[in-house]
């Protein structure tokens, strides 16, 4: 069975998906056109692309990238104060933030960021929910 994606000619906006075309040629002549598909289109997370007039797999959003300052500002003032105190007595905390200071940028999905935040949770400086919020996961 054929399926049709009916779209607006002027901007490519998807109007409907149907197994039949709208009644009468006048409906299509107005500002509508269609693409025919062998199977029902748009399944499995596909999204209509008005530029290509086809269904595409959505691209995942890029992981956030921060400057050192942007990363540190993701922590509350109280968390930053606790981190500065911990750096004076804890080699792993100091090591993580020494690496943060050396980085040109920090990628939220980089293993070092995940490990550093996990260590902060394990040591009780952050809750897991707060670490997820800082990492941009929550």
Note the pLDDT of residue 90.
73
Please state, in angstroms and rounded to a whole number, the distance separating the CA atoms of residues 48 and 60. 15
Mean pLDDT of the chain: 87
Total Cβ atoms within 10 A of residue 53: 15
Q: What are phi and psi of 124, to 5 degrees?
A: 85, 10
Mean pLDDT in runs of 10 for the chain (138 residues)? 88 88 65 86 82 85 90 94 86 87 91 91 92 87
Q: How do residues 33-59 score in pLDDT, each as one tens digit?
A: 888 888 888 777 788 999 999 988 877
Tell me, rounded to whole angstroms, the distance of Cα 5 from its chain centroid: 27
Q: For residue 27, what are the CA distances in angstroms to 21, 33, 65, 91?
A: 9, 9, 48, 72
Beta-carbon neighbour count of residue 57 at 10 Å? Answer: 10
DSSP conformational letter for 60: P
């Amino acid at each position: 069975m054929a399926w049709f994606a009916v779209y607006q000619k002027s901007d490519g906006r998807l109007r409907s998906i149907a197994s039949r075309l709208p009644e009468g040629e006048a409906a299509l002549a107005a500002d509508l056109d269609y693409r025919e598909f062998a199977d029902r289109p748009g399944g499995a997370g596909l999204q209509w692309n008005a530029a290509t007039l086809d269904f595409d797999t959505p691209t995942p959003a890029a992981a956030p990238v921060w400057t050192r300052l942007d990363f540190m500002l993701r922590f509350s003032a109280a968390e930053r104060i606790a981190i500065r105190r911990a750096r004076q007595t804890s080699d792993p905390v100091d090591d993580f933030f020494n690496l943060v200071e050396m980085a040109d940028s920090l990628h939220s999905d980089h293993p070092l960021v995940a490990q550093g935040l996990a260590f902060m949770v394990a040591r009780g400086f952050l809750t897991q929910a707060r670490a997820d919020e800082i990492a941009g996961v929550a």
